Amino acid sequence: MSSFARVILKRGAEKRILAGHVWIFESLLLKTKGPLKDGDIVEVESYRGDFLGRGYFNHHSNIVVRLLTRKREPIDFEFFKNRIHRAFQRRHPLLQATNAYRVIFSEADFLPGLIIDRYGDIFVLQILTLGIERFRNEIVDVLVQLFQPAGIFERSDARQRTFEGLPLLKQDVWGSVPERVEFLENGLTFFADVREGQKTGFFLDQRDNRLLVRQISARARVLDCFSYSGGFSVSAAKGGAREVIAVDISETAIEQARENARRNHVADKITFRPENVFDLLKHFDKEGEKFDVIILDPPAFVRSKKAIEGALRGYKEINLRAMRLLNPNGYLLTSSCSHNLSENQFHHVLFQAAADVHRSFQVLQKIMQPLDHPILLTIPETYYLKSVLLQYLEF
């Protein structure tokens, strides 16, 4: 007889789990059996009593159970060690051009609520759910045993934690973590501000696109919008761009971009502008400015499904204006990191923008998030980063 409390699903609700998803919404719950506290590991059963797996419970969340395993196995130090080690083994042979990457990507690595990023010998831990919070010590111990890091920093400051009834945290949890963490990517040197920077300190998910920009920027005039800490700008300059303009509304981000440019000896090629991208695109359009490469990597406009309509207008505006600023044969690399916005919706926005500016664009490449941010086929929510490389052609 199992010592775990049990969660019984409504008739038919097991189809979602058997199809491969790991989220159980409150609306799918029929009843619970046994003593149950938020954060506890529970066993999930179908209406007929069939065992479906083990996961953690939290009634504060709309997702009341997140499955960790489909087996009757202990959830303990060895469990997390095996999961983290297997994820590392899947990535490591494929990531030879960088020492910074995502080791664990939550649901996509069968550890919902857990993010682990690596910057050389510094690891950044992000715990998003109460169920994972209960295993913080075990997870830290696993990282220490597997990787012998110089330091581990926790960036559990994502808004999602408030829905779990958890406080926002930023703290050292192991060893020594410097203010600036240096790492390598495709022959370039960057730093991550793991304590205060966006995400866990750097946008690791745009690694492949930064390399792409480097390849298309020879002798180009480049406009990098929402440039943050300058990854695209530095890559374009290293690719031989004759001029790069980096734009971000954050003075802090602009200063970080300057530092990254200095580290890679391209500061003289980049003009840094701490301005509002929407306003500057309008100004450039009015002044008749033209560019050979434009990068659009805005923050997530869609924080919830209710925000989609407004976000679509925002995406259309910036892409339309960027399209107007391109020289013939110029490239537009445009992205959406909003998982609530589907790939079809994003592509339709680009179609509408191109139609409104009366210009023809070839779709040269559609790009998803890199392999260290894997997409689980049966959990579409793990697919969030959509990028498209367009080229403006006259005929």
Amino acid at 144: V
The tokens for 98 are: 């960088």
Q: In angstroms, rounded to a whole number, what is the distance separating the alpha carbons of residues 170 and 176? A: 14
CB neighbours (10 Å) of residue 107?
Answer: 20
Q: In angstroms, rounded to a whole number, what is the distance separating the alpha carbons of residues 298 and 315? A: 9
**Tokens 């159980």 — which residue?**
24
CB neighbours (10 Å) of residue 249?
Answer: 15
* Radius of gyration for the alpha carbons in the chain, expressed in angstroms and rounded: 23
CA dihedral 79→84→90→95, nearest 10 degrees, is -170
CB 239 within 8 A of CB 214: yes
CB neighbours (10 Å) of residue 283?
Answer: 12
Sheet holding 41-45, edge to edge: 23-25, 63-69, 51-57, 41-45, 5-9, 29-33
225 carries an active-site annotation: no
CB 174 within 8 A of CB 352: no
**Local structure of 311: helix, strand or coil:** helix
H helices of 58-197, in order, are: 77-91, 130-133, 136-147
Measured in degrees and rounded to the nearest 5, phi and psi for residue 166 equal -115, 150
The tokens for 133 are: 């919070």
Element (H, E) at 154: strand 151-156
The active-site residue, picked from 114, 337, 350, 376, is 337
Amino acid at 216: I
CB 311 within 8 A of CB 341: yes
**Which residues are part of the catalytic machinery?**
337
